[in-house]
Amino acid sequence: AKDRLSSQTLPENSATGSTSTAITEPRARLQAYVDSHSVVIFSKSTCKRCTEVKKLFKSMCVPYFLLELDQTEDSWLVSKPIGSGVTALGHSPVLFSERRKLCGHGPTLKAYQEGSLQKLLKMNGSEDLPGTYDYDLIIIGGGSGGLAAAKEAAKYNKKVMVLDFVTPTPLGTKWGLGGTCVNVGCIPKKLMHQAALLGQAVRDSRNYGWNVEEKVGHDWGKMTEAVQNHIGSLNWGYRVALREKKVTYENAYGQFVGPHRIKTTNNKGKEKIYSAERFLIATGERPRYLGIPGDREYCISSDDLFSLSYCPGKTLVVGASYVALECAGFLAGIGLDVTVMVRSILLRGFDQDMANKIGEHMQEHGVKFIKQFVPIKVEQIEAGAPGRLKVVAKSTNSDKIIEGEYNTVLLAIGRDACTRKIGLEAVGVKINEKNGKIPVTDEEQTNVPYIYAIGDILEGKPELTPVAIQAGRLLAQRLYAGSTVKCDYENVPTTVFTPLEYGACGLSEEKAVEKFGEENIEVYHSYFWPLEWTVPSRDSNKCYAKIVCNMKDSERVVGFHILGPNAGEVTQGFAAALKCGLTKQQLDSTIGIHPVCAEVFTTLSVTKRSGGSILQAGC
Amino acid sequence: PGRARSDTEALAHPPPPPPPSRAPKSAGPVKVGAVPNRRLGGVHSEPMATLPGRRARLSSPGTSRLSSEAREELRRRLQGLIEDNRVMIFSKSYCPHSTRVKELFSSLGVEYNILELDQIDDGANVQEVLSEITNQKTVPNIFVNKVHMGGCDRTFQAHQSGLLQKLLQKESTYDYDLIVIGGGSGGLACAQEAAILGKKVMVLDFVVPSPQGTSWGLGGTCVNVGCIPKKLMHQAALLGQALKDSRKFGWEYNQQVKHNWEIMTEAIQNHIGSLNWSYGLSLREKSVAYVNSYGEFVERHKIKATNRKGQETYYTAAKFVIATGARPRYLGIQGDKEYCITSDDLFSLPYCPGKTLVVGASYVALECAGFLAGVGLDVTVMVRSILLRGFDQEMAEKVGSYMEQHGVKFLRKFIPVMVQQLEKGSPGKLKVVAKSTEGPETIEGVYNTVLLAVGREPSTRKIGLEKIGVKISEKSGKILVNDIEQTNVPHVYAVGDVLEGKLELTPVAIQAGKLLARRLFGGHSEKCNYINVPTTVFTPLEYGCCGLSEEKAIEIHKKENLEVYHTLFWPLEWTVAGRDNNTCYAKIICNKVDNNRVIGFHILGPNAGEVTQGFAAAMKCGLTKQLLDGTIGIHPTCGEVFTTLEITKSSGLDITQKGC
C-alpha cells in the first residue's frame, strides 16, 4: 500500500505536474486525484460559483485539491464534460464521477447549510485517515464475485485481503469458503438436479434395453455426502488458489468502522482492525424468512437443504422463485412427495409463458401446487430427522385457512442482501432502504468513491454467479490494469433447472412488448420432441423454443427462450450470438446440428401472431 | 406412348395460377426480360429475376474453333435455355428485327428471356450451334414453348394467324414441374418446399437392399440408417454410463445390469417406422406424388421409374433434383459382401453383434464402435491411417484416446485382406486376416461381427446421368454443381451427399433443398451457405465443431496470424460420478489479423452438439474473442467454459484441471 500522506496537498496548488507524474493515463489520473484527496474541486478560475465553493472550504479550514480546468495543460480533462463548479469530495458520500456532476455548487452549499457536509468531512475527513494502508484492496465476502476480484487484483501485484464469514443459519448450518454458489447454490443444486435426471435416466434405460429391476431406491445420505465431499474439495481449492496468488484470507466477519478502516471479528470473537485504500463489498444474500410463528425454529432454507443429514421426506416448498421450483423439482425427482405453496405467480421476472409451462411440466411429474396461499404458522407435531410439522396457511384472496402435515418445510421466498450489519452507515455508503441493495455506478462504484460493490447485493442487477465473477474481474482490471471495459449486464443468459431445464437470454416476451410495443415484435415458436425422449415415449409436446424479434431492427433477436433437456448448454452459444447482434435471418441461415434439440432454432417458421399449429404430430 | 400419356396428364392438371407479376395482357406495366435466377457456365452473376431489361448472359470462354466436346456442351446449354424458358429470343442488341420481336412480346405482356449474341464472348459459337439446331443462320431466332418459331417475320405471321397465342397458352407439356430422385432429407425438403410453392412435384425413392438384404422405408439415410438410429444407440450407451453414475448419486438397484440388444433395436425401429409413416403422410398432405420406384434418366426431361416388381413407368418433368445420397463402400476383398455388415445393416440387426471388428476410422466407424462398446460389447477398430480425416486432428486423437480409455481397442495401420466364415449363426464367427500398411506383417482375429465403415459411395452411377450428360467426378462419382446446386445440364440440380466438395450432413441437404426450391419456384435468391457448418460426432463422448480445424486454419491463414485458446474442463456432473477430470476439452481458433475473429470452434464433452449449435449461430454473426469474453456464462454448464478462455496454446501454459 502506498504512502498517501505525501500526496496530501495544500489549498490552491496546481494540479499539473504534482500527483500526476507517475500516472499518465488521464482516466486513472483523474481517479487518483479523487482517491488520494478528501476534497477535490474541479473548477474554472473564472467561474464565480467555483470561487464561492473554494471560499467555503477555506472558511472551514478543509484542505482541498484543486484542478483549474481552464489552466491545465491536460486537454483530455478539459475536453470531457466535467463542467465547472463541480466539487468532488474524495472519500465522501456525496460525490464525484467523471461522467456526471454528482455534486455541484448548489448541493455543496446546501449540504453545508444542513450540516451534512461537515459530518461527511468528519467521517471521512483527513484528521482520521490512516497514515498508510495495510492493503490496496479489502474484499468483504469470499463468494464468486469477491474471489474473482481478489485473484484478478492479485495478478497485478496488489496487496489484497478477503474477509469471509458465514453466519450460521437459524438451524446452525454453515460452510466454507466460496460463497452461496459453491456451498448452498448452483453447485449442489445442479448436482441434485443431476441426481434427479439420473433417476429419469434409470427409468429410460429400460426402454433402451438395460435390464434394471423395477424396484429402484434412492439414498439421500449417499447423495448428500457425495455432493458435500465435492464442495469440500472446492472450498479447499479456493483456499489454495488464494494462497498461490498471495491473497490474504481471513475467516472473519468484516464491518466498516471508519474511513478506509474495517473491523474483523472471527468465530472466537477476536477483533482486528485493517485499513485499505479501496474496499469491495461482495457479501451477497441470505434466504429470507417469513416472520411467522415457527419459521426460524422449524423451517429450513436452501442454506440447510444441501447438507441436510437426513432425507427431508414429505416436503412443503414455500415460494415460487427459481430456488423454490428447482428444489421442488429435484426433491420430486429423487422420489419425494413435494408440494409447492405459491403466493401469486411462478418465477416472477421470467417470461410468464415459459414459467407456466414449467409449472405444468412439474405438475405432470408429480409436484403438487397450492396456489394463492401463504403460510401463517408452522408447528412441530413431532421432533425427529425428519420430524413432523403442521403448516397453517391462509388464502391470499379469501379468509380460507388450510392445514397440512409435512416432514420438512423449505422456505424459498426470496433473499435479503447482507448489507445492514457491515457498518456501511459508518462510512456513509448508501443502500436502498427498502431492499437493502446497494446502488452503484456502471463501474460498480458506490456513492463512496473508494468503496465498490459487486454481486447479488447490487440494486437492479442480475443475481448470478457468472455476472458477479465478470463484474469482479473487470473491476479489478479497471482499477489496477488501466482497462476501461465495463461489465455488460445486458443479455445475460441464465438457466432454471426444474429439472426440465429452462434457458433464457435477453428479454421476456412481456418485457419486449413493453419496450417495443406488441406490433413491433415478432415471436417465433415451436414445440419439439427431443429424439432421446421418443424411445421411452416421454411427453411429445412439452419442450418448447421461442425467440422474440424486434421487427423494427431487422428482426434482431431480443429474447431467447428454451424449455428442454440441456437448455443451459443450448443457451450459452446463443447468448454469444445475441451478443453479436443475431438476427432472425442469420439464425435461419445457420445450419442445424442433427439430431440435437438446439437445431430447432435454425428452423423456426411459425409466428405466435399467426396462430399456426406448433404441435408435433408425434407418430 | 409415354409422351402421349404425359400430354393428357398435363391437360388433366391445369397449371397453377400465374404469379401476380404477370401483368394483364397489353395493359399496365409490362415486365420483360424476366430471367430464371441462375447462372450458366460457372461464372457468377447476380440474380436478375426482377430487373426489367436485364439480359441473360451466356458466358463461357469464347473461341471460334470448338472441340466436339465443347460444342456438345454448348448445345446442351442452348437446349436448356430453350426448354426452360417460355419464350427464348436469341438476338443481337443492335438488330432492328430483334427489337421489333422484343416489342411484340412486351406488348403481349409475355415474359421472355434474351441472349444477346453480340454481348457474349462466344456469340459466334452460339450462332453456329443454333444454326445446326434450327437450320436458321440469322438472328433473331425465337422459341416459344420449346417450338422453333423462326425469325422476326415468321413470328409476326404466327401472331397474326393466332398460332403464337396458341403456343403461349400451352403452359407445360411435362407431367411434373419437378421430379426429385431420392426421398432422403434433402430430396424431401426440396419436394415439400416446391409443393408449398404450388408446384406439381414427384418424389422417387427406392432403397436397393444391402448385400445382407437390409432395406428400409422413406426418409433416406439419416432417418433409417444414419443420424436417428445412431443417436438413439448413442443414447443407449450414455444411459449405460448414467446407470453407473447414478449409484454415486444415491440410486440403488440390482447390481448386475445387462443390456438387451433386441429390446433396444426394436424400440428404435419402431420409432423409425413412425417417422417413415409420417414422411409419407406429410408428402400426401402436400400433394407430392411419392413413388417407391428406382429412377433413371432416359431423356433430358424423361425418367424411367422401376418398382420392386420390375414394372417400368415413365415420367417427364421440367426440372429434376438428384438427391440419391450415398451408400456404404465395400473393401473389395474376399468375403466382404458375403460376411461383413455395414451401417446399413447394423441398426436393424436382429441379433446382438457380439465381439465386433469395426473397419475404418470415419465418424461412422468411431460412432458405431463407441456405442457398441457403450452397450457392453467387445469392440476393436481397425484403422488404416488417421482417425476422422478432415476433422481437427488434435480433437480426433482426443476422441480416440477417450474411446481407448473406455474399452475400445485400436489396431492401427492395418487393413483387412480377407474375411472367412468359421461358423454360421446369429452372430456367427468370422476370421479376419489383416495386413500391415507399413510392412509384410499380417495378423488374424476372430470376431462375431465385422462392420465396414470405410467410406460411402454416391449413388450416381446407375441413374442414367450419362444419357443426359450430367457431369460427375469420375473419381469420386460425385456430381459437380455451381453455387446454386445446378449441374452442367441446366434443368437438372443436385443436393445432399451426392455433391462434390460439399458437406455430407442432413441439415445441409435440407437447407440446400429448401433454398433450391425457393429459388426455382419462389422468386428467392438466397443461396445455401456451406461455410461454418457445425457438426457433432457422437463417440459417445461428443465432439462438436464449427468452422476450421487447426490444420486448415494454419493452411489458410498461416500460423503466425492465429491465436488458439484452449482449456481442459471437468463437467460438474462428472465430479461426483468420479469420472475423468482431464478429458473434456474446449478450443477456439482466432484470426489475429481480423479482429480476433473466431474461425474455428471445437469442444469435446458431454452434450457437445447442444453446446455447439448456438456458437455456430454466433459465428454466423461474426463472433470475435472480445465478444465471447463479453458474453456472460451460464453456471454451471459446460458451455460456459468458452466465455472464460484465457490460455493460449502458444503460451504453452498448463491447462490441466487440478481436481481436488
Q: How do residues B432-473 score in pLDDT, each as one tens digit?
A: 999 999 999 999 999 999 999 999 999 999 999 999 999 999
Q: Where are the domains of chain B?
A: 68-168, 176-325+459-522, 331-454, 541-651
Q: Which fold has domain B331-454?
A: FAD/NAD(P)-binding domain (3.50.50)
Q: Which of these is catalytic: B44, B301, B406, B635? A: B635
Mean pLDDT of chain B: 89
Q: Looking at the partner chain, which of A218, A569, A591 has a beta carbon nearest the beta carbon of B252?
A: A218
Strand partners, A388: A382
- Domain A26-121, CATH among 3.40.50.2300, 3.90.245.10, 3.40.30.10, 3.90.1490.10: 3.40.30.10
Find which of A294-308, B53-67, B85-99 is predicted with most confidence, using mean pLDDT. Answer: A294-308
Asked if the Cβ–Cβ distance from B228 to A595 is below 8 Å, we say yes
Q: Which residue do the cell numbers 413413388 mark? A: B291
Q: Do A198 and B251 touch (CB under 8 A)?
A: yes
Distance CA A379, CA B310 (A): 82
- In B, minimum Cα distance to A599 occurs at B613
Nearest residue on chain A to B612, judged by CA atoms? A573
What are the residue ranges in chain A where pLDDT is below 50?
1-23, 78-102, 125-127, 618-619
Query: A476 vs chain B: nearest CA distance in angstroms?
Result: 15
pLDDT value of residue B271: 95
Task: Give the per-residue pLDDT at B62.
Answer: 44
Model confidence over B489-503: pLDDT tens digits? 999 999 999 999 999
Q: Do A493 and B632 touch (CB under 8 A)?
A: yes
User: A407, A268, A423, A388: which is closest to A338 by C-alpha?
Assistant: A407
Work out the pLDDT band at B167, boundaries 50, 70, 90.
confident
Q: How many residues does chain B have?
A: 660
What's the rounded Cα separation, in Å, for the pair A276 and A136?
5
CATH number of the domain located at residue range(s) B541-651 in this protein: 3.30.390.30
Residue A73 makes CB contacts below 8 A (sequence gap 6+) with A16
Check if A193 is active-site. Answer: no
**pLDDT value at residue A538:** 87
Summarize the confidence of residues B65-72 as an average pLDDT. Answer: 79
CB B434 within 8 A of CB B400: no
What pairing do the DSSP bridges indicate for beta strands A408-411 and A300-301?
Answer: parallel
Tell me the chain A residues in contact with residue B613 when contact means C-beta distances shorter than 8 Å: 570, 573-574, 590, 592-593, 596, 598-599, 601-602
Q: Which three three-digit cell numbers place residue B626?
A: 472480445
Query: CATH top-level class for A289-413?
Result: alpha beta
Contact: A566, B607; criterion CB under 8 Å: yes
Record: contact B613-A571, CB cut-off 8 A = no
Which of A201, A579, A590 comes nearest B631 by C-beta? A579
- Whether B541-651 and B68-168 are alike in CATH topology: the answer is no
Q: Which H helix or E strand runs over A233?
A: helix A220-244
CB B611 within 8 A of CB B600: no
Nearest CA-CA partner of B352 in B276, B421, B274, B451: B451
Which residue of B265, B631, B645, B646 is the best one to mutate when testing the A interface, meaning the one whose CB has the most A CBs within 10 A?
Answer: B631
Domain coordinates in residue numbering, chain A? 26-121, 135-284+418-481, 289-413, 500-610
Q: What is the pLDDT of residues B506-546, one digit of tens each?
A: 999 999 999 999 999 998 999 999 999 999 999 999 999 99
Selected for mutation to probe chain A from B610, B611, B658 (highest A CB count within 10 Å) is: B610
Q: What is the CATH number of domain A135-284+418-481?
A: 3.50.50.60
Hey, which bits of A384-540 come out as E strands? 388-395, 401-406, 408-411, 415-417, 451-453, 494-497, 501-506, 521-528
Set of chain B residues whose Cβ sits within 8 Å of the Cβ of A495: 634, 637
Full DSSP string of A431-449: --TTT-PBP--TTSB-SST
- Are the Cβ atoms of A215 and B576 closer than 8 angstroms? no
Enter the CATH code of domain A500-610: 3.30.390.30
Q: Which residue has the higher pLDDT, A265 or B146?
A: A265
Quick one: CA torsion of A436, A441, A443, A446, rounded to 10 degrees?
-50
Q: At residue A523, what are phi and psi to the nearest 5 degrees?
A: -110, 120
Contact B258 A210 (CB under 8 A): yes
* Across B563-592, average pLDDT: 95
Chain B positions touching A572 (Cβ under 8 A) are 611, 614-615, 631, 633-634, 637, 639-640, 642-643
CB spacing of A577 vs B535 below 8 angstroms: no
**For B610, nearest residue in chain A (alpha carbons):** A570
Chain B hits for A228, Cβ within 8 Å = none
Q: Which three cell numbers stand for residue B316?
A: 417427364
Asked if the ipTM is above 0.85, the reply is no
Contacts of B611 in chain A (CB under 8 A): 569-570, 572-573
Beta-bridge partners for B114: B89
Q: What pLDDT score does A33 carry?
A: 66
**CATH of the structural domain B176-325+459-522, one choice from 3.40.50.300, 3.50.50.60, 3.40.630.30, 3.40.50.2300:** 3.50.50.60
**Alpha-carbon distance A505 to nearest alpha carbon in chain B (angstroms):** 10
Cβ(A507)–Cβ(A184) under 8 Å?
no
What is the mean pLDDT of the segment spanning B106-110? Answer: 85
Closest by alpha carbon to A49, among A86, A88, A24, A2?
A86
**Which of A535, A589, A590 is the closest to B232 by Cβ?**
A535
Contacts across the A-B interface (CB distance below 8 Å): 298
Best B634, B638, B640 member to test A by mutation, with max A CBs in 10 Å, is B634
Q: What residue of B is the nearest CA neighbor of A465?
A: B635
**Do the chains contact at B232 and A208, CB–CB below 8 Å?**
yes
Reported as a single tens digit per residue, the pLDDT across B242-270 is 999 999 999 999 888 999 999 999 999 99
Query: Which pLDDT does position B514 carry in this prediction?
Result: 96
Contact B620 A190 (CB under 8 A): no
Pairing of strands A271-281, A451-453: parallel
User: Does pLDDT of B34 surpass 50?
Assistant: no
Query: Within its chain, how far is the Cα of A235 from the centroid?
Result: 20
pLDDT reported for residue B602:
98
Q: What is the pLDDT of residue A42?
A: 73
Chain A residues near residue B630 by CB distance under 8 angstroms: 485, 488, 579
Is B375–A209 a contact, with Cβ atoms under 8 angstroms apart? yes
Between CA B114 and CA B91 the distance in angstroms is: 7
Judged against a pLDDT cut of 50, whether residue B61 lies above it is answered with no
Contacts for A384 with CB less than 8 Å, ≥ 6 apart: none
Cβ(B456)–Cβ(B342) under 8 Å? no
Q: Does A579 sit within 8 Å of B232, measured CB to CB?
A: no
Q: How far is B320 from chain A (nearest CA, A)?
A: 24
- CATH class, domain B68-168, is alpha beta
